[in-house]
Chain A
């Protein structure tokens, strides 16, 4: 049997304890052990961004992270973004801007956009496109995804003002 390790972390605000196989990826743990299916398997090699999550506020590919590295950290998946003002504004913007077609890439993009706007609330279209270069979409051609992120950023700025 595989060597297991006890880890403890906060997931979407909830303290969670899991005994996890040491070689397991964070993506596998999120989906198969914790049963949270919003984070998607797209490629398993960090090229498509469908598995993007936030760890201590930084976005990363869950498929490339060892689940062990959740220990002691704060994890946010797409499911947790609904409780977050900017996150839910992004979700709404995606829905109303036509940024969603088949929707498979959407959770990863919303999470990445959340991180992007956190770092750079005034990002222009060019910076946004660079910021999502690690997220592949096959349906939309990205235009409305960028529209959605711009729109969510503007709405956030308005709230501040």
Chain B
């Protein structure tokens, strides 16, 4: 003993992801790689029509196929309950189908091949109904009604021919509406010197997780249910499944195998999971259900498509006055999280830059199209696309520099927005200045605009856009908290048992890092357990970029308790006040000199095996100090907020409309960088996801049918297409955040498309209001052949 140990910190360093070696070596077992002894394989029969009554289903031939254990339809599961955000969605459809993804029947068989063969033997008779495929038609008189009967039926009445079906339900196709107001937009408009109004159209894209959807369901001998599920919200899942099956929630266990990507696709319950459970129940065998890639395209939730009219105003001196928004959300056939994107969209409308007056309205309407779920950014990409194009338009109209205009309206730390969001830390101005500085934005924008008339095969443009998103959770459920248990064993190994889920984003590495920082231990000393609802404490789930912030604070809380316990005992042992001791480098040391007094693991062992044997185990539940929004959607819904600004440089090929994304310069207010390697990866990945949304990805839906359910024609960005990326982190040191950090998971994807729109305008003088910026769309716009979208005014 007696060695001197310096203070050191893990914060801001590059830390290898804990599970990376196993993943790189192909040893990780995803749900697709798991096999439960005795398992059967399930396949789902989906609708052959877009919108039709089901007159008859005959499963008799399928049942007789050797190797088939069960074939179920709605008639076989009278106990099924509606699922999803709107509770308008029965897993197995009863009297009608409303989209080609609709699940009509399901088979459990010895092999996947037999299950597929059995599907082909199921006979279904349909009676076609008119298809509603344009949300703009959904409220016209005479439009087909997608949900004409009451919800939550028990299926009893539906399959018998001639059975009466009550049509007492919705008189129209409205699934949800949202309305928000602050100030007085009429007064705001009266004060404006420039007013712009445009309609924007945001398209269907989908998550394309590299691992397709899959689940395994198993009932044990006592009727307890275990699901191997890729859900991002295991505890909510547990409660909801208990409800669906009328089971005691204590008897539902969710185990989360490593996930092949989430991005928000796994936040709701989708029919394939309850259907798998129904089959497990019917066969009394474990049942495994895995999608094909085509099925993944056809049946997974998408990003929310939106038609949005924005009316914005500003004064001659550059002050923003008002924003008025009317949106039409295509809700698809059933309601999932997509319909609730207005929660996030209205935050951008009301609070991205300072706007005194604001009015927001959304109508989400049923159609026979695919339904949307939650997807990284959650409506913010759509609203930012509109807001930031108008920022440019208004700046140009009053003759003010695009950066200066934004800086003039950017908030400062301490501001509370009219919507009640308290920006305790706010790095927006720094983000703007940093991104603009390192991209030479202002000079390039001026130079490029002077080139519009010049000949040339290609033209360059730069565009800027910022984003605002929650960075400290989002209090939409009764609790937005997370629990942690910390256990230190007699070898000095620390196990963090956290409710938070690892979905590939690196949360478990960052949580381990925070614990190691607290306890002065190397990363090798910590293990994280996070994937079993029977073991881990409650967490609401992975969404809203909340995990580092909330699970991080929870882990720190538990680690701090452990630290106190250990140093108090060490103080007693070495006859020193605990405040004069520290934990560094795996040792307990004198704080002033760094002199090592005892190895951490030895000390813990001696505590454990002493006369007053003591295990070191602590727990902590962290609830962020945010508030639920009130009925008017006002309230400080997150414990912290995050900003980013991106400057995008493009090169437009004038002969083809091909836009090459040359460079993205980003500045992110992340509070504090914890794992530098991890955060860079999140930002780079987010930028490329934003690039796909802006340029290459499009789910083409025609008359309710997805025309490109394959990677061949749904274009993800490939390695040679990525831009040069330069990312700067602004550390505003959030007071509430763990070590000052705020959430960043969604931010980098949010403003790419908006900045790209502004960049294309800067290159060519042409503004495009619809995504994606495919070569053909851009070329048509360059030729002046794109009709301005007209939909209703922002009324």
Chain A residues within 8 Å of B, Cβ to Cβ = 37-45, 47-48, 50, 77-79, 81-82, 90-92, 94-107, 110, 126, 128-130, 132-146
Given A101-B506, A133-B718: 18 more A-B contacts, CB < 8 Å = A40-B211, A42-B210, A42-B211, A43-B293, A44-B293, A47-B710, A50-B210, A98-B16, A98-B681, A102-B258, A102-B260, A103-B23, A133-B719, A136-B208, A138-B689, A141-B685, A141-B686, A143-B680
Which single residue of chain A is at the shortest CB-CB distance from B297? Answer: A43
Interface status of B712 (Cβ within 8 A of chain A): yes
Query: How many angstroms between the C-alpha atoms of A134 and B25 in the bound complex?
Result: 19
Say yes or no: is B33 at the interface (Cβ < 8 Å to chain A).
yes
Our pick among B17, B211, B263, B684 for the contact of A100 (Cβ within 8 Å) is: B17
Are B684 and A48 touching (Cβ within 8 A)? no
Q: Decide: A110 and B210 in contact? CB cutoff 8 A.
A: no
Task: List residues 92-117 of chain B with CB under 8 A from any CB of chain A.
Answer: none
CB distance from A63 to the nearest CB of B (A): 10
Q: Choose one: B21, B30, B677, B685; the contact of A139 (CB below 8 Å).
A: B685
23 A/B residue pairs, CB under 8 Å, sorted by A: A38-B25, A39-B26, A42-B293, A45-B711, A78-B26, A81-B25, A82-B25, A95-B17, A95-B24, A100-B19, A102-B211, A103-B24, A106-B24, A129-B720, A129-B722, A135-B719, A140-B681, A141-B684, A141-B685, A141-B689, A142-B722, A144-B680, A145-B719
Bound CA span A158–B455, Å:
49
Cβ of B209: which chain A residues have Cβ within 8 Å of it?
Answer: 102, 104, 138
Would you call B680 and A94 a contact (CB within 8 A)?
Answer: no
Q: How far is the CA of A91 from the CA of B24 in the complex (A)?
A: 5
Give the residues in chain B near A145, CB-CB below 8 Å. 719
**Nearest CB in chain A to that of B718: its residue:** A133
For B159, what are the chain A residues with a Cβ–Cβ distance below 8 Å?
A: none
Q: A142 to B683: give the CA distance in the assembly, Å.
A: 11
In the complex the two chains form, what is the Cα distance from A52 to B506 in whole Å? 25
A42-B210, A143-B722 known; A79 vs B20 contact (CB < 8 Å):
no
Chain A hits for B261, CB < 8 A? 102, 104, 138-139
Contact residue among B27, B292, B681 (Cβ-Cβ distance under 8 Å from A101): B681
Residue of B nearest to A39 (CB): B26
User: Which of chain B's residues have a CB closer than 8 A to the CB of A92?
Assistant: 21, 24
Which residues of chain A come closer than 8 Å to B30, judged between CB atoms? 40, 104
Tell me whether chain B's interface is mostly helix, strand or loop, or mixed.
loop
| A82-B503 Cα distance, complex, nearest whole Å | 25
Query: Which of B33, B687, B688, B689 interacts with A37 by CB under 8 Å?
Result: B33
Q: Is B259 an interface residue (CB 8 A)?
A: yes
B210-224 residues with Cβ-Cβ distance < 8 A to A are 210-212
Name which of A41, A78, A98, A99 has the most chain B CB atoms within 10 A of its CB.
Answer: A98
Residues in A neighbouring B719, C-beta threshold 8 A: 128-130, 132-133, 135, 137, 142, 145-146
In this complex, the member of A41, A100, A129 whose beta carbon has the largest number of chain B beta carbons within 10 angstroms is A100
> In the complex the two chains form, what is the Cα distance from A44 to B210 in whole Å?
12
A105 to B26, CA, bound (A): 9
Q: Which of A104, A129, A132, A136 contacts B711 (CB 8 A)?
A: A136
Given A135-B719, A136-B716, A138-B263, check contact A100 B24 (CB 8 Å). Answer: yes
Centre residue among B20, B24, B28, B716 by max chain A CB count within 10 A: B24
With a CB–CB cut-off of 8 A, which chain B residues contact A128? 719
The answer to whether A37 touches B684 (Cβ under 8 A) is no
Given the contacts A40-B32, A44-B292, A103 and B722 also touching, CB distance less than 8 Å: no
A residues in contact with B20, CB < 8 Å: 94-96, 99-100, 103
Kindly report which residue of chain B lies nearest to residue A36, judged by CB atoms.
B26
Beyond A141-B725, A144-B681, whether A100 also contacts B23 by CB under 8 A is yes
Q: How far is A146 from B503 in the complex, measured between Cα atoms in Å?
A: 22
> Assuming the A-B contacts A37-B33, A136-B711, are A141 and B722 also in contact, with contact meaning beta carbons closer than 8 angstroms in the complex?
yes
A42 / chain B contacts, CB cutoff of 8 Å:
210-212, 293
Is the pair A107, B17 in contact by a Cβ cutoff of 8 Å? no
Is there contact, CB below 8 Å, between A138 and B210?
yes
**B712 partner residues in chain A, CB cutoff 8 A:** 45, 47
B687 touching A106, Cβ below 8 Å: no
Chain A residues contacting B686 (CB-CB under 8 Å) are 141
Is A102 a contact partner of B684 (Cβ separation < 8 A)? no
Question: In whole angstroms, how far apart are the Cα atoms of A95 and B725 in the complex?
Answer: 21
Q: Does B91 contact A (CB under 8 A)?
A: no
**Other-chain residue from B21, B292, B689 in contact with A95 (beta carbon distance below 8 A):** B21
- B143 CB to nearest A CB, Å: 37
Are A48 and B26 in touch, CB under 8 angstroms? no
Is B678 engaged at the interface, CB distance under 8 Å to the other chain? yes
Determine the residue in chain A with the shortest Cβ distance to B720: A129
Contact A139 B504 (CB under 8 A): yes
Q: Which partner residue on chain A sits nearest B677 by CB separation? A: A98
User: CA of A39 to CA of B722 in the docked complex: distance in angstroms?
Assistant: 26
Please determine whether A105 and B711 come into contact, CB atoms closer than 8 angstroms. Answer: no
In the complex, the answer to whether B505 meets A101 with C-beta atoms within 8 Å is yes
CB contact between B688 and one of A41, A78, A103, A142 (< 8 Å): that residue: A142
B7 CB within 8 Å of chain A: no
